[in-house]
């Protein structure tokens, strides 16, 4: 068979049922046999970046490897943002790209781009395949690499002549991956050392990151919390790993985290980091971060441990297995009385709740809009968000009660993530309600994928939170640049007309400008299941995201509103 036929057969054998892609000259040989495949559904996107984010969304809600496909040159480079996003957030995707004929590689041939070299720093691994007989092994290896160890993106770049040439199809019985041996089982000695620190701690905190979500170790986390009574904070990418309604969940720490979550880390004497990486958005000024805390750092990627914060007890392994072994080792252990610590954090949560001031003159509050979407859609819905103010409000005010129902660009902070990620999520969970919470700036980057959704029967619901500006940048300009709003006014009160734009793409377009209209348009959107729906909410322009820790400052400098900060002197036990 041809290399292209081998590629399609390999995709079928690894269980890939969906490919998001867009054809072009060098991948065209593969699109011919793909046309006949009954096992693999191809979804024709409008831009390759959309294919990449859709593959991410699909992977996030299914736990499977997402697949995207593009041709050479600009087709391949259009995937780069999504690949980088998947790398930062450890999302398992395989990107398949066509390459120019092998004899032309390095000659600046038409649409030649060294996509392997370009993506070397942002992929877990990548392959350049120039022989048809190498294609089955490359695909099998790519899926294995993407899904095992620390998940991430893998690129397979295949020359056009390798797709056209013929060879015997040989499916590998074993994968030849020299040096690739991810450690999933934690070392028993490190578990014992961790137990000693937990037994001695008076103010421990479980600092839960996206690794728990990728490992789907929700039951293990819940059991560890119930056994120990240790308070929990969840990073942006881990929202929902434990329900917000759990009395020991104090929310999201960091730059826009809750006061009790930030206070818990800063006043802790032991951080138990589970699949988190001490990102600067969490730590603030690293020198002043959690000054009294010892650290137990568990992560499947040894490169993350002690990278930013020294780990007193490093544990390399799958966080689910780490928590299972901690649970066993802690059974019967005598922990310190954590009641005073729990009560102090609960008191902090009551005194510094995360909320908002309703705007005057009947203008829509973006926080209230997002909150109502969550209340009406319910916790079983899946929510994707763009990047900016609406992302932070969505992180705080949506119902994060179900694990794995929150899709977000955490590490890269990619504007344009929302619409295609929601599309991928709906393909992966076709019977679920999928909402995207997007900003007017983000939406204008990738909204063309709504055409894909309309034609492919993918009825997602997108809320455009229209504050007529690049809101988060405007907030920084308000606070740090004396209100000089240089190039952040998008003038989306003039163009585009979002409902008409949505209708032009085959969607239903709705708009709310008054508080009395909010529930009505959300309920209308919920009732429409045969087409995508776009709801524009025209909101207050100067709404701010609070709390906030200014970039590069200490978490102790958190503000709950402009010129208002907690009195940390009262928080000393």
Distance in angstroms (rounded) separating the CA atoms of residues 556 and 257: 12
Catalytic residue among 69, 88, 255, 472: 472
Asked whether the CA dihedral 525, 526, 530, 531 is positive or negative, the reply is positive
Indicate the SS3 state at residue 83.
Answer: helix
Place of tokens 């560890």: 224
472 is catalytic: yes
Beta carbons of 430 and 436 less than 8 angstroms apart: no
Choose the catalytic residue: 110, 166, 199, 480.
110
What gap in Å lies between CA 14 and CA 11, rounded to an integer? 5
Q: Is 110 a catalytic residue?
A: yes
Catalytic residue list contains 173:
no
Closest CA to 234 of 220, 219, 221: 221
Whether 569 is catalytic is: no
Lay out the sheet containing 41-44: strands in order across: 41-44, 18-21, 66-70, 93-99, 153-159, 125-129
> For residue 188, is it left (φ>0), alpha (ψ between -120 and 50) or beta?
alpha
Cα atoms in the Cβ-side hemisphere of radius 13 Å centred on 262? 29
Look up 133 and say whether it is catalytic: no
For the stretch 141-173, what's the b/e string if a residue is b when 16 or more beta carbons lie within 10 angstroms of its beta carbon?
bbbbbbbbbbbbbbbbbbbbbbbebebebeeee
Catalytic residue among 64, 124, 160, 214: 160
Of 5, 9, 20, 48, the active-site residue reads: 48
Residue 384: closest CA among 371, 394, 396, 397: 394
Catalytic residue (one of 12, 111, 223, 526): 111
Q: What angle do CA 77, 82, 84 make, to 5 degrees?
A: 90
| Residue 285 per-residue DSSP state | S
> What is the set of active-site residues?
48, 110-111, 160, 472
């Amino acid at each position: 068979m041809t290399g292209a036929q081998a590629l399609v057969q390999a995709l079928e054998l690894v269980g890939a049922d969906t490919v998001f892609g867009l054809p072009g000259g060098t991948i065209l040989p593969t699109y011919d046999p793909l046309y006949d495949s009954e096992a693999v559904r191809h979804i024709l996107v409008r831009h390759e970046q959309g294919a990449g984010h859709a593959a991410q969304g699909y992977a996030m809600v299914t736990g499977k490897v997402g697949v995207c496909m593009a041709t050479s040159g600009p087709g391949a480079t259009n995937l780069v943002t999504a690949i980088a996003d998947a790398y930062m957030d450890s999302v398992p995707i395989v990107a398949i790209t066509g390459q120019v004929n092998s004899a032309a590689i390095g000659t600046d041939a038409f649409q030649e781009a060294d996509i392997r070299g370009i993506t070397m720093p942002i992929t877990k691994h990548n392959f350049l395949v120039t022989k048809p007989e190498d294609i089955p092994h490359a695909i099998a290896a790519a899926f294995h690499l993407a899904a095992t160890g620390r998940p991430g993106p893998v690129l397979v770049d295949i020359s056009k002549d390798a797709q056209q040439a013929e060879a015997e199809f040989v499916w590998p019985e074993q994968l030849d991956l020299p040096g690739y041996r991810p450690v999933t089982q934690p070392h028993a000695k490190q578990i014992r050392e961790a137990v000693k620190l937990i037994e001695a701690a008076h103010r421990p905190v479980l600092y839960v990151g996206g690794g728990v979500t990728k490992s789907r170790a929700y039951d293990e986390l819940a059991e560890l919390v119930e056994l120990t009574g240790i308070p929990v904070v969840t990073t942006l990418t881990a929202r929902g790993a434990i329900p917000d309604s759990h009395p020991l969940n104090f929310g999201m720490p960091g730059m826009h985290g809750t006061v009790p979550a930030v206070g818990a880390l800063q006043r802790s004497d032991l951080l138990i980091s589970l699949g988190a990486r001490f990102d600067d958005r969490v730590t603030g000024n690293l020198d002043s971060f959690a000054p009294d805390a010892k650290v137990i750092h568990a992560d499947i990627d040894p490169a993350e441990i002690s990278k930013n914060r020294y780990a007193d007890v490093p544990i390399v392994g799958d966080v689910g297995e780490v928590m299972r072994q901690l649970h066993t080792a802690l059974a019967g252990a005598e922990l310190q009385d954590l009641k005073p610590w729990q009560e102090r954090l609960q008191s902090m949560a009551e005194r510094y709740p995360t909320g908002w001031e309703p705007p005057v003159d009947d203008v829509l509050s973006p926080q209230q809009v997002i909150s109502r979407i969550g209340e009406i859609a319910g916790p079983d819905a899946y929510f994707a968000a763009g990047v900016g103010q609406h992302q932070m409000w969505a992180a705080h005010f949506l119902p994060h009660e179900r694990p794995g129902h929150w899709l977000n660009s955490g590490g890269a902070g990619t504007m344009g993530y929302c619409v295609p990620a929601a599309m991928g999520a709906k393909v992966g969970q076709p019977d679920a309600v999928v909402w995207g919470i997007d900003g007017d700036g983000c939406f204008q980057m990738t909204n063309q994928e709504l055409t894909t959704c309309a034609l492919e029967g993918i009825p997602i619901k997108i809320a455009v939170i229209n504050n007529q500006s690049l809101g988060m940048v405007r907030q920084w300009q308000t606070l740090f640049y004396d209100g000089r709003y240089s190039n952040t006014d998008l003038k989306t009160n003039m163009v585009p007309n979002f409902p008409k734009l949505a209708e032009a793409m085959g969607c239903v377009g709705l708009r709310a400008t008054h508080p009395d209209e909010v529930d009505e348009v959300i309920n209308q959107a919920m009732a429409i299941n045969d087409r995508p729906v776009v709801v524009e909410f025209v909101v207050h322009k100067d709404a701010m995201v609070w709390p906030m820790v200014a970039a590069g400052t200490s978490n102790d400098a958190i503000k709950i509103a402009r010129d208002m900060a907690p009195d940390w002197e009262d928080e000393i036990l």
